[in-house]
Amino acid sequence: MKLLETRGLRSGYGRIPILQGVDLAVEEGSFTGILGHNGMGKSTLIKTVFGQIAPTAGAVRFDGKDVTGTPSHRRASLGLGYVPQGREIFPTLSVEENLRMGLMRLPDRHAAEESLATVLDEFPRLKPLLGRRGGVLSGGEQQILAIARSLCGNPRLLMLDEPTEGIQPSIVDEIIAILHDLRNKRKLTLMLVEQKLDFIAALADQVFVIQRGQITGTLAPAQLADPEVVREFVGLG
């Protein structure tokens, strides 16, 4: 089943067009990678899917429903989760307060407390940090907090934008393990925007290549280990 589809999606910033007609399909339960250079439209795509950028043409469908004109908070209520580039946690709030911000869309207090308890079981590293301000955490801890905060809303599809940016290698390995575990336990669908080839190859079932605002090809994760293929299709490596 296709959980997310875009058809002819175009968007940009003011008069600057970025996406040039993106057709994309994400199957439920899959882990999809979006790979490309900076400036090719990766982050613009994920922001347009989430509703932070209004499309100028085309359509976004989630779980069979047209959500093209739906605001981002409603998309979150439908089950779209988003971890932005740079994490965007609240630095002056405690770890617990950051997590509770992710609970706001849940219907009642019981559901919220149940979700928080589940997330803390999934992220035991955060338990001793609950009273600490988000701004004093390391970059890796902030990224883990941002993922946990998004999961507090019980999304069906979790989209991550450059989750390895500015993070030490040991935490990158931990995030790979976390995402594999979440997919298996929650039956979560994931969509990852990334430039690091080894990271995306360790996680994705399929990798869409984006160049100049268009999807130009699809690669199997194993192909990312071949520098000739990467240079030909992506221009990286």
Q: Is the whole-model pTM more than 0.85?
A: yes
Locate 160 and state its tokens.
């991550």
Q: In this predicted model, what pLDDT tens digit does every residue of 69-93 receive, in sequence order?
A: 999 999 999 999 999 988 889 999 9
pLDDT > 90? residue 56: yes
pLDDT > 60? residue 105: yes
Q: Which phi and psi (to 5°) does residue 225 adopt?
A: -85, -10
User: How many domains is the chain partitioned into structurally?
Assistant: 1
| Percent of residues, the chain, with pLDDT higher than 90 | 78
Residue 235: pLDDT band with limits 50, 70, 90: low
| Residue of 6, 47, 48, 2 lying closest to 29 (CA atoms) | 2
Q: What is the pLDDT of residue 179?
A: 94
84 lies in a domain? yes
117 lies in a domain? no
Q: Which domain holds residue 198?
A: 2-88+155-233
Q: What is the pLDDT of residue 234?
A: 65
Q: What is the pLDDT of residue 123?
A: 95
Q: In this predicted model, what pLDDT tens digit does every residue of 151-209 receive, in sequence order?
A: 999 999 999 999 998 888 888 999 999 999 999 999 999 999 988 888 999 999 999 99
H or E stretch at 104: none
211 lies in a domain? yes
103 lies in a domain? no
Q: In this predicted model, what pLDDT tens digit does every residue of 110-156 receive, in sequence order?
A: 889 999 999 999 999 999 999 999 999 999 999 999 999 999 999 99
Query: What does pLDDT average to over the chain?
Result: 92
The conformation of residue 40, written as its DSSP 8-state character, comes to: S
Q: In this predicted model, what pLDDT tens digit does every residue of 2-12 receive, in sequence order?
A: 999 999 999 99
40 lies in a domain? yes
206 lies in a domain? yes
57 lies in a domain? yes
pLDDT > 70? residue 216: yes
CATH number at residue 15: 3.40.50.300
Q: Is the CB of residue 60 less than 8 Å from the CB of residue 68?
A: yes
Strand extents, DSSP E, 119-227 = 157-161, 189-194, 206-211, 214-219
194 lies in a domain? yes
